[in-house]
Amino acid sequence: MQWSDALGKPHGRYSGSPRIVSLVPSLTELLVALDLAKALVGRTGFCIHPRQVVRRIPKLGGTKGFNVDKLRALKPTHVLVNIDENRREEVEALADFVPHLIVTHPLTVGDNLDLYRLLGGVFAREQRAEVLCDAFDREWAALNVLAAGLPRQQVLYLIWREPWLSVARDTYISRMLAAAGWDTLPHESPVRYPEIDLPALAGDAEIVFLSSEPYPFREQHVRELTKQLPGTRSSLIDGEMVSWYGSRAIHGLKYLRELRTRLADPS
């Protein structure tokens, strides 16, 4: 049996003992959830979950600009990458010595199911993958029920300041928020992470979310925004729960359900 990655490249079940390098934080966490921690031989410095497990795994730098010589020395059988998070030219250079490059690019929330099954299939962890699929389906259904009973709201999701950056609707983040009944602004954008006119869009938003990543927004920024734009309703939001896919998406769906419930209650 074969499974296709984001480029449509087929991958069969690996029959040996895999040596996996993950250059994507979400995928590192997912591999651990699939009971593949012992097969992980390399990661990025941003692969921080689960902390007690990944701390023993060598770091190779960032998702961009990783150390190719260190990676080569690890003699990986597989390297896991993502279209958004890794540079194409750096990934293509790995093809000279890495037997199996697995490219991922989840864009919709439901893409997580294919991701579980892709890695579960390649690394003989189908049973664990189906456990994740079942947990995902339960949280997805529960969030859908909640969202269906509440009015949809327009929200602004900030990921950076000075300049102020938001997310376009064709991003994974936006689609996670949409699952909770939150439609992101701007309505249209030619780029996926656009620089925005904060006062203009904040005026159209029922809630302005300040994400914990990549810019580390804190309560002081909420206070500053409230002072700068009186009448704006703003809230911190855990960026990992919205932007990380893989096994984190299951927790993210539950987190959004609880946050939607809390913010829907005016008391």
The yes or no reply on domain 2-105 and CATH 3.40.50.1000 is no
pLDDT digits (tens, 9 = 90+) for 224-259: 999 999 989 999 999 999 999 999 999 999 999 999
What would the mean pLDDT of 161-184 be, rounded to a whole number? Answer: 97
For residues 101 and 91, the answer to whether their CB atoms sit within 8 Å is yes
Backbone angles phi, psi at 78, to 5 degrees: -140, 140
Detail the DSSP E strand segments found in 162-205: 182-185
pLDDT digits (tens, 9 = 90+) for 93-141: 999 999 999 999 999 999 999 999 999 999 999 999 999 999 999 999 9
The region of weakest confidence among 66-70, 149-153, 225-229 is 225-229
For residues 45 and 62, the answer to whether their CB atoms sit within 8 Å is yes
| Per-residue pLDDT at 265 | 75
What would the mean pLDDT of 71-99 be, rounded to a whole number? Answer: 96
CATH architecture of 151-264: 3-Layer(aba) Sandwich (3.40)
* C-alpha angle 120-121-125 in degrees, rounded to nearest 5: 45
Distances in whole angstroms, Cα of residue 21 to Cα of each of 58, 71, 141, 252, 261: 10, 8, 33, 25, 39
Domain spans of the chain, in order of start = 2-105, 151-264
Mean pLDDT of all residues in the chain?
Answer: 96
For residues 224 and 252, the answer to whether their CB atoms sit within 8 Å is no
- Equal CATH topology for 2-105 and 151-264: yes
Q: DSSP for 42-81? A: EB-TT--SSHHHHTTSPB---SSS--HHHHHHT--SEEEE
Examine the pLDDT at 1 and tell me if it is beyond 90.
Answer: no
